[in-house]
Amino acid sequence: MTTNITSQLNDVDIESVGGLIQSVQAEPHRAHTTWAATVEWKGGFRSESRVRDFHPVQSDEPAGLGGTDTAANPVEQLLSAFGNCLAVGYAANASAAGVEITNLRIELDGDLDLHTFLGLADDGHAGFKGINARVHLELDAEPDQVEALHRKVIGTSPVGHTLSRAIPLEVTLV
């Protein structure tokens, strides 16, 4: 395992992340953050989400579900969000440990039963029955260090925690 830590490893600004950690340790209230997005309907099953000052992210349904198949659908975006969160976790934790990642790919899938979504079942569950993520990770570390990194990433993933735990959800019509 590589042990010399520079200010940049795996394209992660280690000093910046370290500064954030020190800031939150000194002033714990800084850990409480709010994130936001705005979604605007564009007709049919098309919509776009806006986050901060970034270009909008398009959403649509596949043709087989009545869409025009111009973009990933919301459940695909959810899988992507979880995979992206895991990737951040691997990059951050490997970099903090001074380990260079040579390859990281995360494949995700999940099964949905469309009965509830289509209004064909009143008491069903419209969401994923489960989500599977397969992490392909190559780095210069011993197997026990790789496993420890993996456990840490799974144990600290905000999106993973959100998906795996019941949270309050409020949808208000204004």
Tell me: do 144 and 113 sit in the same domain: yes
Whether 42 and 97 share a structural domain: no
pLDDT-derived band at 2 (thresholds 50, 70, 90) equals: very low
Rounded-to-integer distance, Cα 39 and Cα 80, Å: 17
Has residue 9 been placed in a domain?
no
115: Cβ contacts below 8 Å, ≥ 6 apart: 121, 124
The encoded tokens of residue 139 equal 């780095």
Residue 55 and residue 87 in one domain: no
Structurally, the chain folds into a number of domains equal to 2
Looking at the fold, whether 60 and 79 belong to one and the same domain comes out as no
Q: Are residues 87 and 148 both part of a single domain? A: yes
45-98 residue pLDDT tens: 999 999 999 999 999 999 999 999 999 999 999 999 999 999 999 999 999 999
Position 114 scores a pLDDT of 93
Alpha carbon separation from 77 to 30, 95, 121 (Å, rounded): 28, 26, 25
Q: Which residues make beta-bridge pairs with 53?
A: none
3-state secondary structure (DSSP) of residue 21: helix
153 and 137 in a common domain = yes
Helix (H) or strand (E) holding 87: helix 74-96
- 173 token code pair: 């019509």
Q: Which residues contact 167 (CB under 8 A, 6 or more apart)?
A: none
Helix or strand holding residue 146 (H, E)? helix 143-156
Structure tokens at 160: 């993973």
**Measured at the alpha carbon of residue 42, what is the angle toward residues 41 and 47, in degrees to the nearest 5?**
55
Domain ranges, residue 63: 30-71
Q: pTM value?
A: 0.91
143 in the same domain as 94: yes
Site of tokens 């975006």: 77
Judge if 79 and 160 occupy the same domain. Answer: yes
User: How many Å separate Cα 69 from the centre of its chain?
Assistant: 23
Residues 95, 140 contacting (CB under 8 angstroms): no
| 124-162 pLDDT tens trace | 899 999 999 999 999 999 999 999 999 999 999 999 999
